[in-house]
Structure 1
């Protein structure tokens, strides 16, 4: 597994940028008034910071150099997903009924293998980490079981690396889409992921070091839950004992999203139950 340590910010950033360009539509009909309002507020916020903090030319030039480096290493998806996406998600899901959402992050890949439940995520024969059974039920806000709902799940391995964004990991390692049974239940066999630092050898790492911040994200499962005629929810689930629950660099942790896995009676790992409730499509 040591070869995974060779993952770099530039390599991960380039893959995240490529993935974003291929998966996310950039075509958006926005009025000139809306563009002017948003752009003006963002620019004015920067101008106010310069004036209030008396930013020097040396600091200004350092900022320009850093912004160029972010682009050169392809780290814009990482930068935006770590420091801005949590606010966009809060706006998007404000007042929404059902389960809580949180950020998608930069390491999502669509098209994962579809499996019937109970499902075992694709993994290596010698996959490190504690075996984890993640199970639950998907219902509507009204309490109706949602048969055939999809539980799209992906997460880092025990060392904190994601398939398709770090070298020497099989393409769909720890990525799959499980379907609920006729009563809305799902059961997924995987391993408990490890916490990880966002890549620190690139421009984002330079900012973190210069600011005296830490780069850690608590261990988490990524999920997208979908069912016909219901709103898709994108979320992450964390683990109660993680020391970074209170200072996640991405500010994405919510109390409702923290799991408390228990040891299985047969000593073969841990298990946890978490149910999802989906709002009706609007």
Structure 2
């Protein structure tokens, strides 16, 4: 297990996550939200807060402490971290209610767009002395009718064997353990990498203070992040976990699902292999 007490700091991670979010937001160009929709959603959120205050008899001291904490979250750039850990899994559940195909999961705060494109059989960028169990991750991308999706892209990223993400930990080279793998004509892929470690979300900032004060743990189980996409299909954002992994049953982000757990098998040469097929839903 790896702590993040030395590197990266919550502030560093928050700043990087905020910058990445803004870049993705600019690229996606979301549509306008109507005043009626804003009123409905924000009204319900505020009503929930009001109900909690009444039911828990929140005092003025507690209210002022919450206000100070919210200011710290903003100043530390930790909104992406806090929202992705504690809120996004419910948004994803709602989105999945009318979707078919592979189960989704949260994006999380550590995604970086525009990574190196790689062929269908490829190794993610590593350091010469990269630590960790060598992992071969293979499978096929198909549609809901079972047909292969030729040229599907698998945007994959994950932590290293110490639980750190490139782009968010200053001691790691850019692009480490990240890539966009392009499946072959049969939708097949084979990715060589290392098995990631569980990690603790940064705890030296206000999000960490909240977790400690509430008596919660800050750990996430080891996982691979993926966005699987192809023209004419709904993109899938998901995470794949490892059977028997620590924190699998008590993920701080509540993002694990039994359908997303891999069972790595030894290859006899120190490597392990996991296979997983993705199913994409047509949008037209």
TM-score grouping bracket, smaller chain normalisation: over 0.9
Moved over 6 A (4+): none
Q: Are 1:219 and 2:222 an aligned pair?
A: yes
C-alpha separation in 1, matches of 2:120 and 2:161: 23
C-alpha separation in 2, matches of 1:186 and 1:46: 47
TM-score with structure 2 length normalisation?
0.96
Q: What do residues 19-78 of structure 1 show as CA deviations (whole Å, max 9, x unaligned)?
A: 111211475411111111111111111111111111111111110110000001100000
Residue equivalent to 1:256: 259
RMSD of the TM alignment (CA)? 1.7
TM-score with structure 1 length normalisation?
0.96
Count of aligned pairs between the two proteins? 281
Residue equivalent to 1:80: 83
C-alpha separation in 1, matches of 2:155 and 2:68: 39
How far off its partner does 1:268 sit? 2.7
Q: Secondary structure at the match of 1:64?
A: helix
Q: Are 1:92 and 2:127 an aligned pair?
A: no
Q: Are 1:31 and 2:38 an aligned pair?
A: no
User: Where does structure 2 lack aligned partners over 5 or more consecutive residues?
Assistant: none
Residue equivalent to 1:127: 130
C-alpha separation in 1, matches of 2:12 and 2:38: 32
Q: Are 1:233 and 2:236 an aligned pair?
A: yes
Q: Secondary structure at the match of 1:125?
A: coil
Q: Secondary structure at the match of 1:144?
A: coil
Residue equivalent to 1:269: 271
Q: For the Cα contact (< 8 Å) 1:17–1:77, is it kept in 2?
A: yes
C-alpha separation in 2, matches of 1:148 and 1:31: 37
C-alpha separation in 1, matches of 2:15 and 2:231: 34
C-alpha separation in 1, matches of 2:99 and 2:246: 29
User: Where does structure 1 lack aligned partners over 5 or more consecutive residues?
Assistant: none
Residue equivalent to 2:13: 12
Q: Secondary structure at the match of 1:6?
A: coil
